[in-house]
Structure 1
Amino acid sequence: MKIIERYITRELLIPFTVVATILAILFASFSSARFLAGAVTESLGLAAMLKLVLLKTLIALEVLMPISLYVAVVMGLGRLHRDQEIAVLRSAGVSESRIIYAILIVAIPVGIASGVLSIFVRPWAYEESYMLNAQAEAELNMERFQAGRFYGTEGKGRGRVVYIQTKDDAGNQVKDVFHYINESGSSELILAKAAHQPELEPGQRPQIHLLDGYIYRLMHSGTEDTVVQFDKLIYFTDSGNVLDYKRKAAPTAALMKSDQPRDIAEFQWRLSRPVATILLALIAVPFSRASPRQEKGERTYYAAALVFAIYYILNGLAQTWVEQGTIGSVPGVWWLYAVMLLIVLSLLSPRFWQNLFLRR
């Protein structure tokens, strides 16, 4: 790599790293605040919550990286234009094609990294996050209960009180369980001598196994109450939603073989990440040419933000149309990137084409 290309790539990598880091931190902070507001820490524990935040941030990186590169090109080349360094480079014989080449030196590896995240890391992160979310949404989680304390919750027309007498050091076995639920028309009391919560497997609902106990069903209307004795009771602690097939967590190879519109849309979304990253970087080039010294430069930045917003909306529409069957697998979501490619080819300056053909 020549010194000019190294200089331009450095001017792009610095803002790209800064913007990507800031966006990732902001996203992780937002996710942490949302989980804390939802009492996920109580349900899962701090370590599991941090893991869930990390997984969500990994998923978001496939979107944050193209945004960061887009902003980096606008900012990095914009500074070079503002300080007249691009003019000096051109007067020294540096062509437009060399500048584009320097941008591609950064854009192609970033696009490949975004593709790897989308094709391989994304499904794994979604699968792990679905498992953690299932545990967080569970109404009961014995790991967070301490022996000798009452725990109560209230919401959606029902209240709950849980108490356990003793708990082993590993936290897997508890004894003398008291579980009371108060609903609008009835109350339920469960007493069990022992209980344990098995580890979840993929597709398995969160549950607690209660041993040797009684269930007292008390009707508020005065009708007949019921008492049930059990040796073993499996108590499902979720709302009834099983961790069934979720296409975002499905392996890319499985999506490739599917003929379902939603699977096709997800598959094409994953493959399109590298293409989108590179094309966005090239589309950002014209927005860096205007000098930011005057108001015209600020308007250019606003235009760059507007163009990205339009791309983001069209990107969502393209995927939705494929999911709904409005557009078939061909052209699928690829029509959007064909339009972006035409825009890139039209926005590149005539000097680029002249130098390209002169080299031939």
Structure 2
Amino acid sequence: MITLIDRYLLRDVLKALFAILLVLALILLANSFIKLLKEVASGDLNSNLLFQLLGLQMVVYIPRLIPPAFFFAVLYVIGRMYRDSEVVALAACGIGDLRLYRSLIFVVTPIALLTGWLSLYVQPWASRLSAELISMQRGQATELAGISAGRFNEYSRGDLVLYVESIASEKKRMRNVFVQQRRAGVLSLVTARQGYQYVDEESAERYLVLEDGVRYEGSPGEADYRISEFERYGLRIKGAEGVVAKVNRKSLSNEALLSSKSIRDRAEFQVRFAQVLGLLVFALLSLPLSRSMPRQGPFGRLVLAFILYTLYLSLQGVAENWMIDGTTAEWLGIWWVHLMLALIGLSLLIPDSHHYRRMQRKLLRGGA
């Protein structure tokens, strides 16, 4: 049964969690947006995919952000309760650390289940969909899918260069078009007042149809140099063939990772599951690390917690590399990092246990 204390901790921790998670997400969102915007400006990415890829990247980041956000949220809430002497009042009523851990269980259980679902299932799906969108966009690059107005757009490794002064958004008609194309060593230049893309329904071939323009073919000064005017000119665009979405291990399903013979794939599964274990371990560490005196500031504990979490990330990377290199056994994997932190958390609880205090009092009496 959820009591008043449980609801109190649940409400405050969730409020702090959402606030910290929002700040971290906005920082990563801004960083990702700048990177994707650079790719759009350079023509490597279609502007239509900008916000789709941005949303998918945030889905990938969220499972990684929840454990540290939860850790610092609990540190903030419990630390405030210590500084406001609320924990002292609870202790006077017979509510100790173990009772506070029970309240934390009501908070961490749904968050751990959510983190596990996001890390094990949603994150691979988002990575796979993001890779497919990028691959599709690159595969359609020769089909003029990522054309940008006001700049030279290069396709087919420089064999096709297209410049469009402006694009009418309502009908996607291009104004003042310049095309340079090289086929079989023959260079041709085409200028047209307007143009548009057309797909033949029968052959499914894609064409760039230009209207009211002039075509120059050959090298100036040679006998075969030709200049021709046209009302309508169709330029067939070569489609990309054999473009396959690049599949990396971050986008593989859990079943594929576990059944794989590659040690790197199995290590990737452990990294995914480590998000849940890290959340549980830092829930254990959060209570002893949040203890502070009524007049003591919160920054000393926060700095220690930040150093501990940084150490955890470093050890997790080292453990993954050791597992891949064969330095540690595969069954040990990266689990030893979480076991070590859990033992540290339990050791921090020993000085506040009743048995330890009773033994300490006996020793003091015996020494006296």
Normalised TM-score (structure 2): 0.73
Paired with 1:197 and 1:354, the residues of 2 have a C-alpha distance of 80
Paired with 1:217 and 1:346, the residues of 2 have a C-alpha distance of 82
Equivalent pairs counted in the alignment come to 324
Instruction: Summarize the alignment of residues 135-284 of structure 1 with structure 2, pairs less than 5 Å apart.
Output: 135=136, 140=142, 142-145=144-147, 151-153=151-153, 161-163=161-163, 179-180=179-180, 234-236=238-240, 242-284=244-286
Name the stretch that deviates more: 130-139 or 54-63: 130-139
Partner SS state of residue 238, structure 2: strand
Instruction: Summarize the alignment of residues 36-47 of structure 1 with structure 2, pairs less than 5 Å apart.
Output: 36-39=37-40, 43-46=45-48
- 1:347–1:39 distance in 2 versus 1, CA, 3 Å: same
Instruction: Summarize the alignment of residues 310-321 of structure 1 with structure 2, pairs less than 5 Å apart.
Output: 310-321=311-322
Paired with 1:13 and 1:170, the residues of 2 have a C-alpha distance of 48
Paired with 1:117 and 1:145, the residues of 2 have a C-alpha distance of 35
Name the aligned partner's letter for residue 63 of structure 1.
Answer: R
Answer yes or no: is the 8 Å Cα contact 1:56–1:125 preserved in 2. Answer: yes
Paired with 2:10 and 2:70, the residues of 1 have a C-alpha distance of 11
How far does the alpha carbon of each residue in 1:93-120 deviate from its partner, in whole angstroms, 9 at most, with x for none? 1021110111122112111111100111
Paired with 1:76 and 1:161, the residues of 2 have a C-alpha distance of 59
Name the aligned partner's letter for residue 89 of structure 2.
Answer: V
Paired with 2:270 and 2:27, the residues of 1 have a C-alpha distance of 28
Instruction: Summarize the alignment of residues 1-360 of structure 1 with structure 2, pairs less than 5 Å apart.
Output: 1-39=2-40, 43-46=45-48, 48-135=49-136, 140=142, 142-145=144-147, 151-153=151-153, 161-163=161-163, 179-180=179-180, 234-236=238-240, 242-291=244-293, 293-294=295-296, 297-352=298-353, 354=355
Cα deviation, residue 10, structure 1: 2.0
Paired with 1:352 and 1:274, the residues of 2 have a C-alpha distance of 27
Paired with 1:352 and 1:150, the residues of 2 have a C-alpha distance of 71
* CA-atom RMSD in angstroms: 4.2
Answer yes or no: is the 8 Å Cα contact 2:142–2:238 preserved in 1. Answer: no
Percent identical among aligned pairs is 25
Answer yes or no: is the 8 Å Cα contact 2:143–2:237 preserved in 1. Answer: no
Paired with 1:353 and 1:266, the residues of 2 have a C-alpha distance of 42
Partner SS state of residue 94, structure 2: coil
Segments of 5+ residues of structure 1 without an aligned counterpart are: 199-207, 219-230, 356-360
Name the aligned partner's letter for residue 93 of structure 1.
Answer: G
Segments of 5+ residues of structure 2 without an aligned counterpart are: 210-214, 220-234, 357-368
- 1:82–1:141 distance in 2 versus 1, CA, 3 Å: farther
Name the aligned partner's letter for residue 284 of structure 1.
Answer: S
Partner SS state of residue 348, structure 1: helix
Paired with 1:126 and 1:167, the residues of 2 have a C-alpha distance of 34
Cα deviation, residue 256, structure 1: 1.4
Answer yes or no: is the 8 Å Cα contact 1:9–1:105 preserved in 2. Answer: yes
Cα deviation, residue 54, structure 1: 1.0
